[in-house]
Structures are given as structure tokens and as C-alpha cells.
Amino acid sequence: MKRRTLLATAALGLSVAFGGVGHAQDKTKACFVYVGPIGDGGWTYQHHQGALAVEKEFGDKVEVQWQENVPEGADAERVLTQMALSGCNIIFTTSFGYMDATNAVAAKFPDVKFEHATGYKRDSANVSTYNARFYEGRAVQGHIAGKMTKSNKIGYIGSFPIPEVIMGINSYYLHAKKANPNVELSVIWAYTWFDPAKEADAAKALIEQGVDVIASHTDSTAVLAEAAKTPGVIGFGQASDMEAYKPSPRVSSIIDNWAPYYIKRVGALMDGTYEQADAWEGIAGGEVEIGEITDAVPADVKAEAEALRDSIAAGTYHPFTGPIKKQDGSEWLADGVTAPDGDLLGMAFFVEGITGDIPK
């Protein structure tokens, strides 16, 4: 399953018009490939904020360029080839579906560094991968959801049934259940990363089922816009803060902060310390941030959520700590045992208590 899929795309050839400033070979050129528009309000927007942070950090020592709306597959390979030929020193490919194209082009340009977001293949020495522990933020959201729901029905809009999304659903539910043993979770699969109409329809369907707290793993603000139509329904910003919907229905958010990683990697390339890496940072590393918890959340719930965030950051608490059983009742984690990263990265099951099947 592709990590990011753009539904409405245009064919792209080798004559790509990159965004950013003109060529300057005496500068380090950092280039970014985006699957969606930089104004999507979510995933791509946050990656672009990271690119702009690189520009701000290094000033005239760096040249930043980017290309929006690049479809996954053959088009991505053409764009990456053009970027490499145009003098890009490091190329960040910000969609899971760019994985094969990234590795194919990297093999042809061993002197160019390639960084692939959310992927796992590093077929060449010049390919690195990076990801964020979004499930940590889902734990905080789940606690708020469990405490805030009045109907005891909470919802989650999933994009695609891949491990990244499934572990987010499980973390959200586990922590909502700890906060409120009576909570029930409904999951709707939107089968899109960015389609405001589909996202809004999914939110509407959940609300019609009596759900009054909605989390989502899609990229637009449509879920919050739909929630705003029904008094008493709340939700969370996804990927970016989505602050326009404060103080309610948006009561907090998960913010993907890619800036620290981008600055670190470009800086390492510039000072000669760059090495191949496989990074997976979370709240502690600053790549996952919890957006402001608004006054729509009771003070005691806010304090509890912030304490949970801080314990995760400090490493004193792991969101997947046993005892936890799988949906079928079989034991997954014994009491006090924390989930190994391998289990999380390959997660293909719901935890006990979640109803419904994971689509195949």
C-alpha cells in the first residue's frame, strides 16, 4: 500500500519547474519531493515548513528547491532523476510510495544523498530513511477522547490499513479505554490521504453513529470542518496544528515537526559528518509535538494529558506497555513488557476491544 497517494495529478516529465531560487553550484542544494500541494494544511504543508526552516537556518549557504504534486511511480522516478541531474546534493522524498523510485535513482547517482520518509529500503549506501513515532501523539489524543466523550463513542478515520495507521488506531483506543472503560471505537477507512470530500463524508458518517470525538489519519482540515457543524463534537489537528479550528472542535493536535531532522541532515552534509541513517524519532526528539490543548478541555484532563506527554518524552512510559492482548484474545504483551519496534513497524492487527476487521 502506498504511503501517500494523490488522486488528482498531472503527468510530469523531465522539464520540471522546481519551486525555490535559482541554481547556485557553490551552495549545498537541498531538494524536496512532495506528493501533495504545500497548501494542503497537513502532511505536505509540514514537510514544506521543514524545508523553509533549512533555508532560514543556513541562509545563503544553502539552496532549497521543491516540487509539489509528484505522483508516485514512474513520474516520481523522472522527477528524482531531473533533480539529481540539476545538481541537488541531497533529496528528501516525502511519501512512502516513493520508496522504489528513490532507491532506483539513488543507485544511478551515488554522489547524491537520498532521504526517504516513512520507508524501510536502503538498497544503496547513499539512501537513508526517517520516520516519526506518531503513535505517541495518538496516546495523548486517546486520553483526551476517553475523558471528553459524553456518548462513550469515539471515532477514527483511517487512510489505508498500513502499520503506521494501525498502530495509531491501537494507541488511540488503548489510552481512551484506560481513561474511560466504557468507551467504544468506530473506525472508517477513507482510502485516501488527501480528499476533503471523502474525509468530510467519513466524519459525517461517524457523527451520525453518535460519535462525539473524532481522530483522523488523513491530511486535510475537512474532518474538523465537518465536526464544527455539530455542537458537542470535537476532534484533533492532524500533521499540522489546524489552529483555525481552535478552541473547538479542534482541542489539540499532533504536529509533525520535520525541521529538526532536515536541519540536522543538511548540516551534517555541509560539515562532512553525514552518514547513512535510519531515524525514528518521537516526542522526545521533537519530531512529534502535541499542539496546544485548549480551554475546551477541562483543566484536570489537560493536566493529565500533558503529564502523559511528558512521561513519553522522558522515556518513563511507552504507549504500548503490557498487558495487551490482540483482538482475537491472544496475548501480545505480558504485564510490564513494552512492544519492540519490529512489532510496531509490522503491526497488522487490532488490539482487544476494537470491533471490525482490518481490510486486506
pLDDT, one tens digit per residue, over 93-145 is 998 889 999 999 999 999 999 999 988 899 999 999 999 999 999 999 999 99
Mean pLDDT calculated for residue range 72-95: 95
pLDDT at 156: 98
Mean pLDDT calculated for residue range 21-30: 68
Own/partner pairs, 77-81, CB within 8 angstroms, 24+ separation: 77/101, 77/104, 77/105, 78/12, 78/13, 78/14, 78/16, 79/12, 79/16, 79/33, 80/33, 80/105, 80/114, 81/14, 81/105, 81/108
Percent of the chain at pLDDT > 90 equals: 84
pLDDT at 360: 86
Report residue 272 CA to chain centroid gap. Answer: 29
pLDDT at 16: 41
Decide which of 200 and 360 is more confident: 200
Say whether pLDDT at 194 is over 90: no
* Secondary structure E strands in 190-319: 213-216, 234-239, 250-256, 278-281, 288-290
Mean pLDDT calculated for residue range 342-350: 94
From the list 89, 110, 100, the residue with the least C-alpha distance to 32 is 89
Q: Give the pLDDT band of residue 19 (cuts 50, 70, 90).
A: low
Percent of the chain at pLDDT > 70 equals: 93
Say whether pLDDT at 206 is over 80: yes
Mean pLDDT, all residues of the chain: 92
68-72, 127-131, 137-141, 333-337 — which is least confidently predicted?
68-72
pLDDT at 338: 98
Determine the Cα angle at 192 with ends 184 and 240, to 5°.
75
Say whether pLDDT at 331 is over 50: yes
Say whether pLDDT at 35 is over 90: no
Q: Give the pLDDT band of residue 25 (cuts 50, 70, 90).
A: low
Q: What is the pLDDT of residues 267-278, one digit of tens each?
A: 999 999 999 999
pTM above 0.85, yes or no: yes
pLDDT at 18: 52
Mean pLDDT calculated for residue range 65-92: 95
